[in-house]
């Protein structure tokens, strides 16, 4: 397991964005159609009418904003067929591509990666509202040392970040994806990046992300939610 605090000597004490050994990255983020996204969070948003869509978009916006803020990220590509999601992330500065395969998450990620303008490509979950740009920078810097790497989610079974440098991404997201990526040859990464591992699938996850300090859109949604209750 690679720890970014023990990165190669050539990387120590050098600003990542100015060092030729550390590549710039294309980050691919999948965004489902809103009607199909984050269904386990619907009980949380039931009081708000159309609040479910607002929550999904808030999670996406804070994730994309954090990725765009990383000094190692040259572009963020959002793979989506949802007009609202596409318009939102384009306003933030991301590029969108349609989910041409329309064959599930992994096919969408592979398609997005095929459009990347950088040789270093990362797949990032769309529900990381507590992600900080510096956390993603640290993880991508660590990932630069190996052909393929991944970051497991907080429980340790899922994956929030999968990276590939000059090789195919080969995503295997879904139940047990951490083990699937490990057995597929990707190197597990560890580090102090609590926002990167805290994806949001349930109300418990949502509250944990808020406790870490979620981005502005998710925080505003939480305030609205509390007022509705």
The answer as to whether 6 is a domain residue is no
Residues 7/141, Cβ–Cβ less than 8 Å: yes
For residue 21, what pLDDT is reported? 67
In-domain check, residue 8: no
The fraction of the chain above a pLDDT of 90, given in percent, is 83
> Which element (helix H / strand E) includes 159?
strand 159-165
| DSSP reduced 3-state for 16 | helix
- What's the pLDDT tens digit per position in 203-228? 999 999 999 999 999 999 999 888 87
Whether the per-residue pLDDT at 7 is higher than 70: the answer is no
For residue 127, give the CATH number of its domain.
Answer: 3.90.550.10
Give pLDDT tens digits for 87-122. 999 999 999 999 999 999 999 999 999 999 999 999
Domain-located, residue 197 = yes
What is the extent of the structural domain holding 117? 22-228
pLDDT in tens, 133-170: 999 999 999 999 999 999 999 999 999 999 999 999 99
Residue 7 lies in a domain: no
Would residue 11 count as lying in a domain? Answer: no
Beta bridge partners of 123: 28, 162
pTM to 2 decimal places = 0.90
The H-or-E segment that residue 80 falls in is strand 73-80
| Counted domains in the chain | 1
Q: Tell me if 147 is assigned to some domain.
A: yes
From CA 219, how far away is CA 173, in angstroms rounded?
27
Is 103 inside a domain boundary? yes
Residue 2 within a domain? no
């Amino acid at each position: 397991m690679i720890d970014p605090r023990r990165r190669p000597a050539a990387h120590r004490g050098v600003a990542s964005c100015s060092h030729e050994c550390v590549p710039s990255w294309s980050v691919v983020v999948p965004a489902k159609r809103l009607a199909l996204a984050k269904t386990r969070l619907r009980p949380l948003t039931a009081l708000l009418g159309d609040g479910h869509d607002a929550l999904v978009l808030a999670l996406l916006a804070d994730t994309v904003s954090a990725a765009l803020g990383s000094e190692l990220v040259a572009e963020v590509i959002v793979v989506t067929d949802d007009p609202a999601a596409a318009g939102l992330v384009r306003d933030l500065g991301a590029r969108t591509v349609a989910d041409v395969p329309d064959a599930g998450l992994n096919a969408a990620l592979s398609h997005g990666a095929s459009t990347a303008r950088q040789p270093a490509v990362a797949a990032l979950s769309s529900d990381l509202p507590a992600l900080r740009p510096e956390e993603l920078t640290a993880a991508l810097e660590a990932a630069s040392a190996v052909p393929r790497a991944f970051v497991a989610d907080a429980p340790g079974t899922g994956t929030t970040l999968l990276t590939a440098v000059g090789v195919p991404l080969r995503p295997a997201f879904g139940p047990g994806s951490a083990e699937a990526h490990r057995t597929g040859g990707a190197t597990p990464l560890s580090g102090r990046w609590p926002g990167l591992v805290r994806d949001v699938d349930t109300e418990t996850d949502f509250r944990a992300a808020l406790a870490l300090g979620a981005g502005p859109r998710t925080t505003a949604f939480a305030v609205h939610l509390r007022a509705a209750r």
